[in-house]
């Protein structure tokens, strides 16, 4: 069975520092995708970054990067130069099952708090 | 903005009553999904659709049904609401961006079953 594990219920980081949010996954598929979403206190789900299992380079989107270690089955999110607006829940997700259906399996999330 | 609108945004209902949540999209996406979000569980897939009148079950489909009579609308129905269905419900679409498909979410519907 496919599974996403986020072991950090909460994290604190000082403004302007970098922070890493952990995500490990389990799948027997050779082709899969890994996603990170941000959920601020307002409740919406915001797509941040995507990594395909065959992508040779780690994905980057502005201040977000995904540290993809395939052998270790980890897909950690790195946020550089944290800002107060980064305070939110962060969810790791994996595209599971058939590629054609794009169904996502989510982790339980990490709450990040950025302090001045 | 992926052009997804969920309605209603908030609803309070009583146990045993039927409830229908609507997801409307404006960009002709083929795939649509309904998830629920509960504390400690992240988001879990209820049902999804891969085209008009084509739907399938997700991880937590018991007590829910869906319909998609036209591309732009995906309806989630609780035939007889129970307190365990109190949750936040998210609709999503899958958008193709080159070699990757990205799911974008609506703003969510907060449902309370009393």
Give the position of tokens 């193709």.
B96
- Nearest 5°: the CA angle B29, B30, B35 is 85
pLDDT digits (tens, 9 = 90+) for A5-60: 999 999 999 999 999 999 999 998 888 999 999 999 999 999 999 999 998 899 99
Residue B4 has pLDDT above 90, yes or no: yes
Instruction: Please list every residue in chain A whose beta carbon sits closer than 8 Å to the beta carbon of residue B95.
Output: none
Is residue A102 a contact partner of residue A3, using CB atoms and an 8 Å limit?
Answer: no
Q: What is the pLDDT of residue A98?
A: 58
Residues B110, B37: Cα–Cα separation, whole Å: 10
Q: From chain A, which residues contact B within 8 Å (Cβ)?
A: 4, 33, 35, 37, 43-45, 47, 50, 52, 91, 93, 95, 100-109
pLDDT digits (tens, 9 = 90+) for B54-64: 999 999 999 99
Closest C-alpha among B54, B4, B59, B57 to residue B26: B4
Pairing of strands B10-13, B109-113: parallel
| Residue contact B41–A108, C-beta within 8 A | yes
Nearest to A103 among B41, B48, B104 (CB): B48
CA of B108: which chain A residue's CA is closest?
A44
Q: What is the pLDDT of residue A100?
A: 60
| Residue contact A44–B56, C-beta within 8 A | no
Collect all residues with Cβ–Cβ distance below 8 Å to A109 and sequence separation of at least 6. A6, A39, A89, A90, A91, B42
| Residue contact B101–A106, C-beta within 8 A | no
The torsion angles phi and psi of A85, rounded to 5 degrees, stand at -70, -5
């Amino acid at each position: 069975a496919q599974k996403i594990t986020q072991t950090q219920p909460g994290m604190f980081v000082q403004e302007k520092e970098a922070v890493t949010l952990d995500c490990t996954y389990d799948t027997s598929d050779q082709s899969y995708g890994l996603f990170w979403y941000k959920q601020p206190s307002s409740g919406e789900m915001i797509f941040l970054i995507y990594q395909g299992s065959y992508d040779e380079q780690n994905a980057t989107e502005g201040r977000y990067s995904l540290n993809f270690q395939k052998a270790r089955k980890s897909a950690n999110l790195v946020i550089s130069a944290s800002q107060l607006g980064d305070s939110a829940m962060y969810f790791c997700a994996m595209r599971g099952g058939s590629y054609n259906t794009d169904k996502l399996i989510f982790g339980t999330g990490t709450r990040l708090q950025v302090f001045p | 903005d992926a052009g997804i609108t969920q309605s209603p945004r908030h609803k309070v209902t009583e146990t045993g009553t039927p409830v229908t949540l609507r997801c409307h999209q404006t960009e002709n996406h083929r795939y649509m999904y309904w998830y629920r979000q509960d504390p400690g569980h992240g988001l879990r897939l209820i049902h999804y659709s891969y085209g008009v009148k084509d739907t399938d079950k997700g991880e937590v489909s018991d007590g829910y049904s869906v319909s998609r009579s036209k591309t732009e609308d995906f309806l989630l129905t609780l035939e007889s609401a129970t307190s365990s269905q109190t949750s936040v419900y998210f609709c999503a679409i899958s958008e193709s961006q080159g070699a990757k498909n990205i799911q974008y979410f609506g703003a969510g519907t907060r449902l309370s079953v009393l």
